[in-house]
Chain A
Amino acid sequence: MGAGRLGVPMERHGRAADTSSSSAGEPAPEGPDGRRRELLRRRASSASEPPVGASASAEGVRRSRPGSYSGAPSASRQRVESLRKKRQLFPWFGLDIGGTLVKLVYFEPKDITAEEEEEEVESLKSIRKYLTSNVAYGSTGIRDVHLELKDLTLCGRKGNLHFIRFPTHDMPAFIQMGRDKNFSSLHTVFCATGGGAYKFEKDFLTIGDLQLCKLDELDCLVKGILYIDSVGFNGRSQCYYFENPADAEKCQKLPFDLKNPYPLLLVNIGSGVSILAVYSKDNYKRVTGTSLGGGTFFGLCCLLTGCTTFEEALEMASRGDSTKVDKLVRDIYGGDYERFGLPGWAVASSFGNMMSKEKREAVSKEDLARATLITITNNIGSIARMCALNENINQVVFVGNFLRINTIAMRLLAYALDYWSKGQLKALFSEHEVSRLLSCNNVTDKKACNPHRIGTK
């Protein structure tokens, strides 16, 4: 889901040393385990009748809504309120808490003056060192070094932007760490977006004494894709497309200059999928969505193959053969189905061969992973294409974590869109998972974190 946001630097409040020492020995109100159990209970009790995607609906609602706070207890609230008047202090964080993954962006200032260095509290220094000198955190956190944006100027400061991710189910542990490390002493407002910004807001406040500045994820997403071109990717273009996507040898990734961005169909593939039609910077709408997204691919792969990580699922998929699992047009008609102009290689029924016991016994886990990937990707391509037709838009940008290191899916999307639209639609991709970046655009936009909005909500 969601879009991330780089944290607005905060006023430092209180003495880090004091608070950190006081909190060190304090037992947590409830251990992480108990907390999780409580969450599960809540989930189970909420009677929910089915359907569809966090995806759907809200069509036609054009929105241009910046972030929001909800009411908060006094101490942290005061900190928020004083935010506007003060200088923006480090550390600068942004959190995007999606359904599966938490994406953390950290701005590492490279132009720190000696004076600043001296003023910098110990805990801040250690955070910076810890984050920049490691590529893995705990057992599940990972820094995507290849995505790092170097020598970026942000709010008048020069530095590097780091991209870190960890699974959403480790969120309670993260909050607990924030409490243990006494984040609240130095950096009291976290900018956060994604569904988890809502879901974990209370935990941040009650356990970590951290006030979240919630930013609308779709706003972040839209602004991000527009911002991305202006920033570039370490001197290269952010947007790209595939030429000859179906041909392994001739396939080429080529830069694309998004100089006429509007209108644009933005397909964000996280755990689920959201599809936005963007007409200008401030004018966009959520067209639809589908619940068949990255979470479905990974979830089904886990069930079908026993894999445990997204990377593992993708790796298996890269070695599999989906045509053993899927029933193709040629499996039914012996070749093309000319009556309908369907090529023989087209999938007639995803997992259709698995109706037969013999064929179920003959497939490998890799084949199943591949078929799952193809099924989900084709479906997203199909829905995106129909939305583009209905909205009369011909450039489609695919973003989201599902596409991270997922060349198979990207090439398939590129090919499917081109083939079924007879060349009318172009699939574009972004080097970065844009949503985390775009927030940069908002950093100077103080309205985004204007505490006075509290009253109007």
Chain B
Amino acid sequence: MAECGASGSGSSGDSLDKSITLPPDEIFRNLENAKRFAIDIGGSLTKLAYYSTVQHKVARVRSFDYSGKDTEQDHEPPYEVSVQEEVTARLHFVKFENTYIEACLDFIKDHLVSTETKVIQATGGGAYRFKDLIEEKLQLRVDKEDVMTCLIKGCNFVLKNIPHEAFVYQKDSDPEFRFQTNHPNIFPYLLVNIGSGVSIVKVETEDRFEWIGGSSIGGGTFWGLGALLTKTKKFDELLHLASKGQHRNVDMLVQDIYGGAHQTLGLGGSLIASSFGKSAMADREFSKEDMAKSLLHMISNDIGQLACLYARLHALDRVYFGGFFIRGHPVTMRTITYSINFFSKGEVQALFLRHEGYLGAIGAFLKGAEQDNPNQYSWGENYAGSSGLMSSSPELCPTQRARSGTFDLLEMDRLERPLVNLPLLLDPSSYVPDTVDLTDDAPARKYWLTCFEEALDGVVKRAVASQPGSADAAERAEKFRQKYWGKLQTLRHQPFAYGTLTVRSLLDTREHCLNEFNFPDPYSKVKQKENGVALKCFPRVIRCLDALGWEERQLALVKGLLAGNVFDWGAKAVSDVLESDPQFGFEEAKMKLQERPWLVDSYSKWLQRLKGPPHKCALIFADNSGIDVILGVFPFVRELLSRGTEVILACNSGPALNDVTYCESLIVAERIAAMDPVVHSALREERLLLTQTGSSSPCLDLSRLDKGLAVLVRERGADLVVIEGMGRAVHTNYHAALRCESLKLAVIKNSWLAERLGGRLFSVIFKYEVPAE
């Protein structure tokens, strides 16, 4: 009966390849700490999942004990910086061809130092076939998990935790992938899994899903029938044949029957009236390519049609496709998308997943790890440890494919705290953090990739300099260089490799790579020094401001914010200046600023607003350490506090460039409180609250913020959001729409970007927005 579909894939009779040697640095990382394994064995690919703990160096800041040392204070840094070991949790996923399974199991056995694990969760059609082998090699008991349950668990997990997980495939655009921002509510959706057969599952909640239908015409039909028709044995080869064929030599088209289009029915002449319809009439030979193409169309169209019928019956418009038939093959994604568009007339969207191949393994792992409650945490894709999309696609990388043993990796870090939407987002489902999509914008992509390439030497130097006592710093820094350089090259050729390419993703990737080689905070010493210098200036700056009249002071505060923002090591133009002229001062920075009217200038409107009633509570996202936060942000905060506005100051949880971290902000605030009664009492009375963003990025994703921050924002009824800095207010959030008033300010410290925006280097963005009533 055509109704059933199962995802178990057929065996291809492959023999095991024991000869390969695995590069352990790259593939089974952290194996010695591994615990809890899960494996998903499909018809041709094996996906192994394990959980490990990763030892990381982290930079810690700690206040000095000043008692009795007051006299020396002026010459001392404001706080202590130390490097400590921290243990974080990480999920590893490795995908490889079934031929390497024995070699991989041996490798795991040899490298698994100690594990309390007794059981391995297994799923997929091949789990039966390799059960004995796994049990013998790993001395673990194999627990079979239901294929579909695993798939759906995995699917929910990636949709919730990986931004830009889902994408639509657009045939003629460049690139063909269009990534979707994560919808805050992923349910309900339809999952169409095309294994050897097709399963259509309606997923309603985390734990509730229903098999609503299927079809026996699936990947197995393509493979089996294709092998019979073309004498080609391998699935990938069949797809390759199909990509070169002309289906109309085999199919009977509408025009073959009508002589042209069918006008009254609106059926175009090139539509297929009867698949393989011509192969009955002609006494000629058909080419393998043409038959394979015709078969691919037949199957894709049929699946698309059924998916649409089911979507319509259940009133669903999001349909995710997975299974080995898809497996990132552009040719199948293209035909499925075409079919869905055709049959649904655009009402249903065919969505594909970047980590489609891992769903089963992720699900099986989660199943086995239930007591650890992995679903309670937020997870983040580690760009450093993950291969990009299509890393093993035969179409895109034929040479890579030919090489023995292509391994695809995915690593996810457990974030210490759950991430949620900022409650003040106007429409969380349409919020896109990034201002420019570099996958889309080729000139911008070229510029930024080059920019990051050129800055790499400086970053490497800085990294080495940050760890003067470390013997292997230079070596690690070199590895970092190679890793990040490699990522940049991948992104040049496949901008879609990690979802939508943005300045943010380039910055985040760099941070991930630095962390990977134990450069947790290359700027810690620089920040320490700058904070010390700025703290010394604080009283003088406050005295000057207080001496000004109200209206003058407001402008001076804003200018201070902007001038402080010039101090940004992330911007090449500034880091050059800072390197060469460390005395580059706050006042000089103000001189560099563009005069009003600024490039974007709604200051007058802001001033007008300040003449009105005070805000209830302001949420401020701070940017850089040193002058920026101490001489720019704190005076501004102080003014708000004086007006009777409560302030939530949000800083990064982890280090990124010279951005001020939450821990640093605590010390800085404490030191300022010691000098300033306004800040002092506000801190004591909890009118000034310091909190962490949950992020370690120089940019800001308002849809992934620390839950504690979101709670505070709700409790205090925040009605003003201030975002400062290029990373947070220009590269991201420039277009973010909020439900309350917002202030986005930045100095454009990049001449290319300034030019693009119609200004010059050090142009000022001052964007004050009030939501429409």
1/0 per residue B337-369: CB within 8 Å of A? 011001101000000000000000000000000
Q: Is A291 touching B274 in the complex (CB atoms < 8 A)?
A: yes
Q: Which of A360-401 contact B (CB under 8 A)?
A: 360, 368, 375, 378-379, 381-383, 386-387, 389-390
Instruction: From known contacts A56-B271, A351-B220, A351-B224, infer whether A379 and B2 are also in contact, taking CB-CB under 8 Å.
Output: yes
- Within the complex, the shortest CB–CB distance from B239 to chain A, in Å, comes to 14
Q: Which residues of A contact B396 (CB under 8 A)?
A: none
A349 near B247 (CB under 8 angstroms)? no
The reply to whether A348 and B2 contact each other, CB–CB distance below 8 Å, is no
Which residue of A has the minimal Cβ distance to B218?
Answer: A349
Assess the A339–B149 pair: CB atoms within 8 A: yes
Given A303-B291, A346-B1, A389-B313: A198 touches B225 (CB 8 Å cut-off): no
**Interface membership of A76, Cβ < 8 A:** no
Q: Does B594 contact A (CB under 8 A)?
A: no
Q: Of residues 257 to 292 in A, which have CB atoms within 8 Å of B's CB atoms?
A: 270-272, 286, 288, 290-292
- A203-236 interface bits toward B, Cβ cutoff 8 Å, 1 = contact, 0 = none: 0000000000000101000000000000000000
CB neighbours (8 Å) of A425 from chain B are none
In the complex, which of the residues A54, A375, A382 contacts B262, with contact meaning CB atoms closer than 8 Å?
Answer: A54
Mark out the residues of chain A between 291 and 313 whose CB falls within 8 Å of any chain B CB in the assembled complex: 291-296, 298-304
Across the interface, which residues of B come within 8 angstroms of A98, CB to CB? 257
Looking at B197, B218, B266, which has the most chain A CB atoms within 10 Å of its CB?
A: B197
Q: Is A54 touching B257 in the complex (CB atoms < 8 A)?
A: yes
- A299 and B3 within 8 A (CB): no
* A300-B279 contact given A48-B248, A54-B271, CB 8 Å threshold: yes
A375 to B229, CA, bound (A): 16
**Nearest chain A CB to B414 CB, angstrom units:** 30
One of B10-18, B379-387, B643-651, B755-763 at the interface = B10-18
Given known contacts A303-B286, A356-B10, A356-B12, A295 and B338 CB-to-CB distance under 8 angstroms: no
A51 touches B2 (CB 8 A): no
**Residues of A with C-beta under 8 A to B339:** 51-52
Q: Determine the distance from Cα of A290 to Cα of B305 in the docked complex, in whole angstroms.
A: 8
* Contact-residue bracket for chain B: 35 or more
Among B12, B228, B277, B335, the residue within 8 A (CB) of A51 is B335
For residue B466, CB closer than 8 A to chain A, the reply is no
Contact of A216 among B224, B254, B264, B312 (CB under 8 A): B264
Check: A172 CB closer than 8 A to any chain B CB: no
Taking CB atoms and an 8 Å cut-off, the chain B residues in 1-53 that contact chain A are 1-6, 8, 10-13, 43
Q: Which residues of A contact B279 (CB under 8 A)?
A: 299-300, 302-303
A337 — which chain B residues lie within 8 A by C-beta? 4, 6
- Whether B270 sits at the interface, judged by CB under 8 Å, is yes
Complex alpha-carbon distance, A57 and B215, angstroms: 21
Residue of B nearest to A368 (CB): B228
CB atoms of B220 and A327 under 8 A apart: yes
Contact A332–B301 (Cβ < 8 Å): no
Q: Are B254 and A195 in contact (CB under 8 A)?
A: yes
- By the criterion CB–CB under 8 Å, are B2 and A65 in contact? no
What separation, in Å, do the CA atoms of A390 and B247 have in the docked complex?
31
B274 touches A271 (CB 8 A): yes
Bound CA span A52–B248, Å: 11
A15 at the interface (CB under 8 A from B): no
Asked if residues B271 and A51 are in contact (CB atoms below 8 Å), the reply is: yes
Bound together, the chains give a CA A348 to CA B264 distance in angstroms of 38
Q: Which residues of A contact B250 (CB under 8 A)?
A: 299
Q: Smallest CB–CB gap between A175 and chain B, Å?
A: 14
**Inter-chain CB contacts under 8 Å: number:** 326
B255 lies within 8 A of A46 (CB): yes
Indicate if the CB atoms of A352 and B220 lie closer than 8 Å.
yes
Q: Which residue of B lies closest to A218 (CB)?
A: B265
Complex Cα gap A381–B254 (Å): 23
Cα distance A382–B214 when bound, in Å? 9
Please determine whether A355 and B266 come into contact, CB atoms closer than 8 angstroms.
no
Cβ–Cβ < 8 Å partners of A378 in chain B: 1-3, 216
B contact patch SS: mixed
Say whether A125 faces chain B, with CB atoms less than 8 Å apart: no
B264 touching A65 by the CB < 8 A rule? yes
With both beta carbons as reference points, the residue of chain B lying nearest to A58 in the complex is identified as B265
Please provide the chain B residues from 556 to 586 with a CB less than 8 Å away from any CB of chain A in the complex: none
Which residues of A in the span 1-19 have a Cβ within 8 Å of any Cβ on B?
1
B105: interface (CB < 8 Å): no
Q: Does B515 sit at the interface, judged by CB under 8 A?
A: no
The verdict on A349 contacting B146 (CB below 8 Å), with A99-B277, A295-B252 known, is no
Please indicate the chain B residues that have their CB under 8 angstroms from the CB of A387 in the complex: 309
Name B125's closest neighbour in chain A (CB-CB).
A332
Q: Which of A163-182 contact B (CB under 8 A)?
A: 167-169
Interface contact B228-A351, CB-CB below 8 Å: yes
Within 8 Å CB of B215, what residues of A? 379, 382
B714 → chain A closest CB, angstroms: 41
Report A349 CB to chain B, min CB distance, Å: 3
Q: CB of A347 within 8 A of chain B?
A: yes
Known contacts A303-B286, A348-B216, A354-B225; is A43 also within 8 Å of B255 by CB?
Answer: yes
Q: Which residues of A contact B301 (CB under 8 A)?
A: 51-53, 290-291
Q: A350 and B228 in contact (CB under 8 A), knowing A358-B13, A416-B1, A420-B1?
A: no
The verdict on B131 contacting chain A, using a C-beta distance below 8 Å, is no
| B281 interface contact, C-beta 8 A | yes
Q: Pick the contact of B273 from A167, A272, A288 — CB < 8 Å?
A: A272
**Do B309 and A386 have beta carbons less than 8 Å apart?**
yes
Question: Hey, which chain B residues are within 8 Å of A389, CB to CB?
Answer: 313
Residues of B contacting A355 with CB < 8 Å?
A: 10-12, 43, 196, 220, 223-224, 227
- Name the residue in A50, A271, A345 with the highest tally of chain B Cβ atoms < 10 Å from its Cβ: A50
**A55: Cβ under 8 A from any B Cβ:** yes
- Given the known interface contacts A57-B267, A298-B280, the answer about A383 and B305 at a Cβ–Cβ threshold of 8 Å is yes
Q: Which residues of B contact A137 (CB under 8 A)?
A: none
CA distance A337 to B125 in the complex (A): 13
Residues of B within 8 Å of A147, CB to CB, are: none
Nearest chain A CB to B288's CB is how many angstroms away? 11
In the assembled complex, which residues on chain A have CB atoms less than 8 Å from the CB atom of B313? 386, 389-390
A198-B258, A290-B305 known; A352-B1 Cβ under 8 A: no
Q: Mark B183-205, 1 if CB is under 8 A from A, else 0.
A: 00000000000011101000000
Bound complex: CA of A294 vs CA of B275, how far in Å? 9
Point out the residues of chain B lying under 8 angstroms from A302, CB to CB.
279-280
Contact of B257 among A196, A343, A383 (CB under 8 A): A196
Q: Which of B218, B266, B298, B335 contacts A57 (CB 8 A)?
A: B266
Q: Which residues of the other chain, A, contact B309 by a CB distance below 8 angstroms?
A: 288, 383, 386-387, 390
Measured CA separation A383–B214 after assembly (Å)? 11
Give the residues in chain B near A288, CB-CB below 8 Å. 305, 309, 343
- For residue B634, CB closer than 8 A to chain A, the reply is no
User: How far is A353 from B8 in the complex, measured between Cα atoms in Å?
Assistant: 12
Closest CB in chain A relative to B155 CB, distance in Å:
16
B100 at the interface (CB under 8 A from A): no
CA distance A295 to B223 in the complex (A): 21
Complex contact B302–A379 (CB within 8 A):
yes
Q: Can you list 15 A-B pairs with a CB-CB distance of less than 8 A? A: A52-B297, A53-B274, A61-B266, A100-B277, A216-B264, A291-B251, A295-B252, A295-B276, A302-B280, A347-B216, A349-B195, A375-B2, A375-B217, A378-B3, A386-B213
Beyond A299-B274, A390-B313, list 10 extra A-B contacts (CB 8 Å): A48-B269, A54-B253, A100-B280, A199-B259, A288-B305, A290-B301, A298-B280, A349-B224, A351-B221, A355-B11
In the A-B complex, the 5 residue pairs with the closest CB atoms: A48-B270, A354-B224, A54-B273, A378-B2, A195-B257
